[in-house]
Each structure stands twice: as structure tokens, then as C-alpha cells.
A and B are shown apart, each in its own frame.
Chain A
Amino acid sequence: MPDDLINVSYIVSAILFILGIKMLGSASTAVRGNRISSLGMLVAVIVTLTKGGLDYQYIIIGLIIGSLIGLVAAKRVQMTGMPELVALFNGFGGLASLLVGWSEFEKGGEGNWFLYSVICIAILIGGITFTGSLVAYLKLSGKVGGNAVVFPFQKFVNLLVMLSAVLIGLLLIIPNNFSENHDLLIWTLIFLALLVGVLGVIPIGGGDMPVVIALLNSFSGLGAAAAGFVINNTVLVVAGCLVGASGLILSIIMCKAMNRSLANVLFGGFGTSSTSSGAQVEGEMKALSVEDSYYVLEAAQSVVFVPGYGMAVAQAQHVVKELSEILERNGAEVRHAVHPVAGRMPGHMNVLLAEADVPYEQLCEMEEVNSVMPTVDVAIVIGANDVVNPAAIEDENSPIWGMPIINVHQAKSVFVLKRGQGAGYSGIINTLFFRENCRMIYGDAKATISGIVAQFDD
């Protein structure tokens, strides 16, 4: 295919990406949006293959292996494991951009300072995305602890590593400098890039993972855009940059939902024991049996479910749906209130509730449900913690002071489904649990709700 035609086709594919992202932004068009964007990808791939002068043998092998792995992973994953999988895919994309940059470097030949700069940028961003996503994956899947890892002089060490990476990059860019040592330099650069990714994500606590995932998503896009500059390809630059910008916006939206700045999330070391104290609380937590909760629920006219990551862990979304149907038949008005940062990924709870077939009209956003909260008879908190902690609006010394929360404490009574008495993921004491109108129902959320459902059936 002639070059002009290829470039025109790339424009078509860029248009499809833009339309696709736009349509992903609305529930009624999202499915089509995703398919349109995948069509854009198909166009880009096919057009590239017709470029001519390519050896297809290994291309075919690579496409088959990659497709098989991708399909199996996408098919097998549970909806609760979605954040981990997205993190992992994201890391792969980052590593791919690193390798594209490196491959171009190894080709040797004539290169100017611009080419070497973008190669270095692609390697840096790609490497950070890869190891950063891997650490996020390990934290999200529980393979390593979710707590923030901090050590002395951490920020100084991180800064030093980052600066050395930039320095190595500069050495590579300066023409005819250390030319015989290029191999050593490039390996060092790759190593440092990978190290920055690890160091950057380990000090971030599990509760902040929604922001990190969104940011790494943005990075993988920028990595692809950098790879686009390396191989002088418009469609990579456009698509990569779109993703870069959208990921950044999403991270900022997440930060706003927690009333924190991006810098505070990234460098705050939030979620370590030193920051997690907050004020001491008076009173005690009051436990409630499943049977007693049934009597309250049976009389309730208005019920709000507030799901959090605990619902995902317990795989409780289907029994939640079952219970909410029973309550509705019993004459109660049922709502599901989802906090913007509930779960480990923005919007994660909505996906789970959608999986369980909870009607769209019952899903409420935070502001909406807060306005009617005083009229609610029972608010059932399922494995959520910080997002319902009244300390955020009442205790100026609390680490989460200022974060908008779902005001379940204003409901007539609150049931908290929780596995044990301990503090939550972020380690902050939840003053809600000590309130007069709050009752704790200990145990596995799924078992508890099934128990309540069984009571209704009797």
C-alpha cells in the first residue's frame, strides 16, 4: 500500500478511537464505543501489515500467542478481579512501548538527538509503567500486603534514582559521546526506569490504588505516544496522547473525590501506621445478630446499600441483589449508593452490581443519596469503611478530613457488615462504628446477607 494511503487510513483509525472514547462516556453507547475503538485498532494493524517489506513469519507467531493469552485472561477473570487484570494489561502495554523504543535503538544507523531523546523517554515511561503496574497488580491481588512501604530517606533515594535515569538519558542523547559504551548505558537506563516504577508505587497504600491505576493508565498512553515519536507514526502519537490525557483527568477526578491533591497521594506515604491515628473515640461497637437485623429490615420503608471492597472480596453482589429484591417486594424503597472511590478501582462497585443485575435506577451517586439520607430507615454498609467515616467531616485532625463521604450516620439506623473489629485498609479508626444508631454484624458479608435472606424466606 502506498505511504499516502497508509497515512489516510491512520487518520481513519484515529477518528474511530476518538469516537470510541467519546461513546464510552455514556451508558447507552458504551458497548458500541468500545467496538468502534477496537475497529480503529484493527484498521491500524491491517494497514501496517500492508506496508510491505515485512517478514510475516514472526509477526503471525507473535499475534497468535498474544491473542491467545489475552483472550484466556479476559475470559477467565472474575469481575471482582478486574482492577488487577487492568493493572496487568496496562503493565504489558508499558513494557511493549519500552521494547519498541529499545528495538529502534538496537537497529543503530543514523539517528539525531531528537530520535535518541524520544527513545529514552519511551524507555523511561514504558519501564515505569511496567514495574509500577506490576507492583499495583501484586498489591491489588493480595500477593503482597497492601500497606504503604516506607523506609528512611525514601524521597531522597527516589529523587536520586530518577535524576540518575535522566542523566543516563542525557549521556545517550549527546552526539558521539561515550559511543562505545552505548550498550552499557541503555541497559542502565532500562534498569533505572524499572526501579523508578517499583520505588514510585510501593509507598502508596492500597486505599489509594484507584488513583494509581488511573495514573499508570495515563502513563501507558504517554509511553505509546513516545514510541510513536520514535517510529515517526501519527496514529501512535494521537491514540497514546488521548489515553494519556484521559488517564490524567481520571486520576484528578479520583483525587477530588478524596479531597487530596495528586502530589499528596503520590508522595504522602498515606496509609502507613504513622499517619493513621486520628482522634480517639468514645463508646463501644455494638454487635447485632442476623436474626435481629431481619426484624429491623422487615419494618424498614427505605433501605440504602453502601458497597465497598469488602463486597468484592466476599463475592456478595448476587446475594445483595437478592436481598434488595426481597426488600422491594416487602414494600421498601431500595437504593445502592456508590462512592466514587469505593473499591480498588474507580467505578468498580458499579461493575459488580451490574454483574448481579441490579437495575440502573437503583444506583445512586453520592450527592444524590446524601440529600435523602435522614429519611432512610436502614443503611447497610457492606465492606466499606473510609467512605462512610464521619471523621472526614467532623474531625479536623483525621487523615481523611475533608473527604466527601456517604453520610450513612444520618440514617435512622446503620448496619455495618464487617469481618472483624479491626481498622480498615487505610488503618483509620471509623467513628461511625461507635455511634448510637450503628450496629455491627460481624462475619463474612455473603454469609450474613444469605442469612438475612433465609430469614425472609421463612
Chain B
Amino acid sequence: MEIILLLFIFVLAAFLGFELISKVPSQLHTPLMSGSNAISGITIVGALIASGQTDANFSKWLGLAALILATVNVVGGYFVTDRMLSMFKTKKPK
């Protein structure tokens, strides 16, 4: 893909991020942070490609290490956010 196009996407995503977050009540800041932290584990996609290389070289092992770390970030992050949020939810019906 064109570099310029990627940069373009980057800039637009930055503005979108600012817009999305600016009006969140402070009660939700902790789950929001741990939830967005899980999203930053998207680097898992890069790790998958790197660890799936067919020849076993140094680069592949680095990829494997990245994959394990990114998976911890993603799985742990989503799970713990869900745990937190479900506590908020239990008292909603009242």
C-alpha cells in the first residue's frame, strides 16, 4: 500500500480517537483504559505474520516472543475489562 495512504489513515484515526474519548464520564476511565489497552494488542497481527515465517531463523523466534506477549495483552486485557464492567452492570436493573 502507498505510504501516503497509510499516513492519511493514521491522521484520520487520530482525530477520530480524540472525538470518541473526549466525553467519557470519569467513572468509566479505568475500564476504558484497560479496554483500549487490549486494543493496542492489535500488534498481535504483526506477531502472527512474523512467527508464521516458514524458515526457522532469528526473525521467526522474535516473532514467536512477540506473539506470546501480544496474546497475553489481548486475551488478558479483554477478559479483565469484561470482569470489571460486569460489576458495573449487575446494579443497573435497580
A-side residues, CB < 8 A to B, are: 17-18, 20-22, 24-28, 30-31, 33-35, 37-38, 40-41, 44-45, 48-49, 51, 53-56, 58-59, 61-63, 65-67, 69-71, 73-75, 77, 79, 82, 85-86, 89-90, 92-93, 95-97, 99-100, 102-104, 106-107, 114, 213-214, 217, 220-221, 223-225, 227-250, 253, 257, 338, 340, 345-348, 350-351, 354-355, 357-360, 363, 365
Contact = CB atoms under 8 A, between A and B. Distances in A.
B64 A58 contact: yes
A34 to B, nearest CB: 5
Instruction: Kindly name the residue among B9, B57, B80 whose own CB sees the greatest number of chain A CB atoms within 10 A.
Output: B80
A66 B33 contact: no
Contacts of A58: 51-52, 60, 64, 67
A214 B31 CA distance: 12
B28 to A, nearest CB: 6
Contacts of B13: 225, 237-238, 241-242, 245
A350 B26 contact: yes
Contact of B83 (A74, A86, A106): A74
Interface residues of B, number: 82
A34 B31 contact: yes
Interface in B64-86: 64-86
Nearest to A115: B3
A30 B39 contact: no
Interface of B: 1, 3, 6, 9-10, 13-18, 20-54, 57-60, 62-92, 94
Contacts of A22: 20
B62 A20 contact: no
Nearest to A126: B43
A192 to B, nearest CB: 18
B48 A75 contact: no
Contact of B76 (A73, A247, A350): A73
A245 B20 CA distance: 9
B43 A347 contact: no
Nearest to B67: A62
A89 B37 contact: yes
B14 A227 contact: no
24 contacts: A25-B28, A27-B25, A33-B35, A37-B78, A41-B74, A53-B54, A54-B54, A62-B68, A63-B67, A71-B75, A89-B38, A95-B66, A99-B62, A100-B43, A217-B37, A235-B45, A238-B13, A243-B37, A245-B15, A245-B21, A248-B18, A338-B26, A347-B28, A363-B27
Contacts of A31: 82, 85-86, 88-89
A173 B60 CA distance: 23
Which of B84, B85, B87 is the most central at the interface, judged by chain A CB atoms within 10 Å of its CB? B84
Contacts of A66: 67-72, 74-75
A283 to B, nearest CB: 33
Contact of A86 (B1, B24, B37, B94): B37
Contacts of A104: 46, 50, 59
